[in-house]
Each structure stands twice: as C-alpha cells, then as structure tokens.
Amino acid sequence: MLVQQSGLGQLGVGLAQMLRKQYGKENIILSDIRRPPTEVYNMGPFVYADVLDYKNLRELVVNNRITWLVHYSALLSAIGEANVALARTINITGLHNVLDLALENCLRLFVPSTIGAFGPSSPRDPAPDLCIQRPRTIYGVSKVHAELMGEYLHHKYGLDFRCLRYPGVVSAHSKPGGGTTDYAVQIFHDALSSGHHECYLRSNTRLPMMHISDCHRATIEFMQAPESQLSLRTYNIAAMSFTPEEVAEEIRKHLPNLRVTYNPDTIRQTIADSWPVRFDDSNARQDWGWKPAYGLSELVTDMLASIREKKNNAGLPVS
Ligand SMILES: NC(=O)C1=CN([C@@H]2O[C@H](COP(=O)(O)OP(=O)(O)OC[C@H]3O[C@@H](n4cnc5c(N)ncnc54)[C@H](O)[C@@H]3O)[C@@H](O)[C@H]2O)C=CC1
Ligand SMILES: CC(=O)[C@H](N)C(=O)O
C-alpha cells in the first residue's frame, strides 16, 4: 500500500493515476488537507491527512498497512518567501514527522527536491548532482535539509530514502501552486484565452523545465529501481531548458498572434536568477536509465491540445 501526501497539488493527482494503473486503484491512497474535487474523489481512495499532525499520519500508516510514502507536501518558492514561518513549518516540521514515521514503520520514502535547492554560488550551467548548495529561499533551504536528512537516515539506519530534484513542471491539468516557474504554465492558458501573457520574468530567463508526464514517469521508474543500481539517493533529472521568449516563439508556431509583455517581479526574478539554467542528469541516465520523452516542441503541442480539450469540454471559448 502506498500513501501519497498532499496529492491535490499540481503534481499529485497525475502521479496517483499513473501509480493506480500499475498497482490497482485500491492500493494507492491520496491524501491532503483540502476537499477533493468530485472527479478526484471518485478516482480512488482519498483521506484527510495533515502533515503536521503526527498522530493522524501514524493512524493512516498503521490502519492501512502502508509500505511506501510519497511526501509531496511543501510551500513552493514564491509563496514560501511570502510566508516564511509557514513554509518552515510545513516544509521542515512536516518532513521531520514523515521521516520519524518512516523509520518507526520501516516505510520506503520518496521526497521530491527541486532546481531551487541550488543557489547563486552553485555551478549554473549545468548544475551537477553534487556541488555547493547555498539556496537563498526558505523553500530551497528546506529542500537541502530534506536531501541531507534523508541521506543521513539512509546511511545511519538504512532508511530507503529516494529523492529527485525536479525542474519546473509544466502541466495542463492543474493550477500552479506559488512557484517561480509558474509562468510556463500560465502562458498556455493566456495564449488560448486572451492571446496576451504578461510575464513576471525577463524574456531571457532560462530555467530547466519538464512535462508532467516525464516527471511522473521518472518518479515511478526511480522508485522501482533496484537498490543495487543507485549510486546516489538524490538525483537531478532534466528534460529541457527554455526562456519565456523561446516558449512564446514555439507557441506562436500554433498561435501566431500571441503577444507577450514583460514586467519582471523583483522577488521571482531574483529567485530565478539564483537557480541553475541547466541540469546535469547524467547520473540518473547512467544508473537507472532515465530518459525524457518530451522536448520543447512536444511539450507545447501537448499543452495546447490538452488545454483546448479541457476548455471545449467545459464549454469555454478558445481563441
Ligand atoms: N510543481 C513544480 O514545478 C515542482 C514541484 N516540486 C515538488 O513537488 C512537490 C509537489 O509540488 P506541487 O504539487 O506543485 O505543490 P502544490 O503547491 O501545487 O501543492 C501542495 C499541496 O500541499 C498541500 N498542503 C499544504 N499544507 C499541508 C499540510 N499541512 N498537510 C498536508 N498537505 C498540505 C496543499 O493543500 C496542496 O495540495 C513539492 O514537494 C514540490 O516542492 C519540485 C520541483 C518542481
Ligand atoms: C521549480 C520548483 O520547485 C517550483 N515550480 C517553484 O518554482 O517553486
């Protein structure tokens, strides 16, 4: 049995769907502190679980004989800077609860990290798996903490801790949750509604990005990889890197009238400028065979088709 925490965020439902296809819908429990939409509730087991409530988490694990835990709970980079105390609590105290629970119940544990775990003193093009990590956001600090705590408990007590550093994830099916890479989702919605996107980053801000289905596939392949193939517990994964101007150009191949204006927001621009522009994921490719399926043109084609379909199904106008 697997429980996936904070499953109602941008990434959660899609991962649960992919896992349920492989392991059966009754074996994957989605949890969050928010009320699930009807379609998610009808897809398979859903329970309330607050990552800050240790007793509640323990009951969930014990009552359902959980063996794997996917810990998605976090406040992302931009929203974390606006709520530092809450980000520290959810991202660090929440993680400690989950680590204690995993040790106590011999759980296997997957925790995602991010390009945000690097900072201005890290090598940026590309950022390797092992290098200086001095992030300047509470989000990044909490993710480095997660990487180090998980690795420490793996080496000291044998905890099966696995961690992937995700790039900015681009998905048509959910709203972004307060990150610095959110523009790369919003631009598609704007392109298909008003035809105008106002970008909060400069036109030449290059960041690593990934299509959500590659992100989910990487997660499952990594969780399934035999221990003997892993030389690290925390791996970078990469697919593509682009700037706002480059993704806009690619969208214009489908929607030539897209207009993009730039109005950089100091907080998010400063964060983006401190992150890697490219990830070196050669260890993931070598150790457990990671290979992305989506490049920029495939991502743009898929995002436009998926959002169009959603709008058509909802009876909304599409430009
Ligand atoms: N979306 C992205 O581009 C990337 C995401 N990641 C990581 O992937 C994970 C999932 O990210 P997203 O789905 O985008 O996040 P999100 O911000 O969309 O969702 C976070 C979820 O956490 C839940 N939550 C908040 N407080 C909680 C609490 N006390 N207990 C339980 N749940 C609580 C929220 O209800 C929400 O559903 C995070 O750990 C994030 O750091 C890493 C890199 C990129
Ligand atoms: C890259 C991430 O971790 C996230 N999307 C964010 O922008 O905060």
User: Both 8 and 146 in a single domain?
Assistant: yes
pLDDT at 39: 94
305, part of any domain: yes
Name the closest-CA residue to atom 23, ligand 1. 6
pLDDT on residue 311: 86
How many Å lie between the centroid of ligand 2 and the Cα of residue 178?
Answer: 8
Do residues 190 and 78 share a domain? no
Instruction: Give the residue numbers spanning the domain of 217.
Output: 2-167+212-236
State how far the Cα of 234 lies from the Cα of 93, in Å rounded to an integer. Answer: 20
Q: Give the bridge partners for 46, in sequence order.
A: 30
Ligand approaching nearest to the C-alpha of 11: 1
Q: In which residue ranges of the chain is pLDDT below 70?
A: none
Residue 288 lies in a domain: no
Tokens of 160: 């099966």
Question: If residue 166 lies in a helix (H) or strand (E), which one and from where to where?
Answer: strand 161-166
Q: What are residue 258's phi and psi, to 5 degrees?
A: -60, 130
pLDDT value, residue 313: 84
Q: What is the pLDDT of residue 87?
A: 98
With contact defined as beta carbons under 8 Å apart, do 170 and 209 qualify? yes
- Asked, for residue 284, whether it belongs to a domain, the answer is no
Q: What are the two backbone dihedrals, phi and then psi, of residue 38, each rounded to the nearest 5 degrees?
A: -55, -45
pLDDT of res. 242: 98
Q: Are residues 155 and 10 in the same domain?
A: yes
pTM: 0.97
User: Residue 166 CA: which ligand 1 atom is closest?
Assistant: 43
Is the CB of residue 112 below 6 angstroms from any atom belonging to ligand 2?
no
Total domains, the chain: 2
**Helical segments of 72-228, H only:** 77-82, 84-88, 94-104, 138-157, 183-192, 212-224
Q: What is the ipTM of this complex?
A: 0.99
**Pocket lining: 77 vs ligand 2, CB cutoff 6 Å:** yes
Q: What are the Cα distances from residue 80, in Å, to 75, 171, 177, 181, 211? A: 5, 21, 10, 14, 23
Catalytic annotation, pick one of 139, 183, 200, 235: 139
Distance from Cα 73 to the centre of ligand 1, integer Å = 5
Q: Do 182 and 155 lie in a common domain? A: no
Find where tokens 């499953």 sit.
7
Within 8 A by CB and 6+ apart from 82, the residues are 178
For residue 161, report the distance from its CA to the centre of ligand 2, in Å: 21
The answer on 56 and 91 residing in a single domain is yes
Residue 116 Cβ inside 6 Å of ligand 2? The answer reads yes
Q: CA distances (Å), 34 to each of 5, 55, 64, 175, 283, in order?
A: 11, 18, 20, 14, 37
Nearest-CA residue for ligand 1 atom 36 is: 9
Ligand 2 neighbourhood includes 114 CB (under 6 angstroms): yes
Check residue 318 and give its pLDDT.
Answer: 75
User: Do 219 and 256 sit in the same domain of this protein?
Assistant: no
Residue in 249, 257, 219 with CA at minimum distance from that of residue 237: 219
Residue 306 inside a domain? The answer is yes
Report the CATH number at residue 148: 3.40.50.720
**Which two three-digit tokens encode residue 71?**
């810990």
CA 182 to chain centre: 11
Task: Indicate whether residue 6 lines ligand 2 (CB < 6 A).
Answer: no
**Centre of ligand 1 from the C-alpha of residue 51, in Å:** 12
The predicted structure's pLDDT at residue 5: 83
H or E, element range at 267 = helix 266-274
Residues 6+ apart with CB under 8 A from 42: none
Same domain? 13 vs 146: yes
Which ligand 1 atom minimizes the distance to the CA of 51? 30
Q: Is 54 a catalytic residue?
A: no
Give residue 180 CA to ligand 2 midpoint distance, Å.
5
Specify whether 109 is located in the same domain as 40.
yes
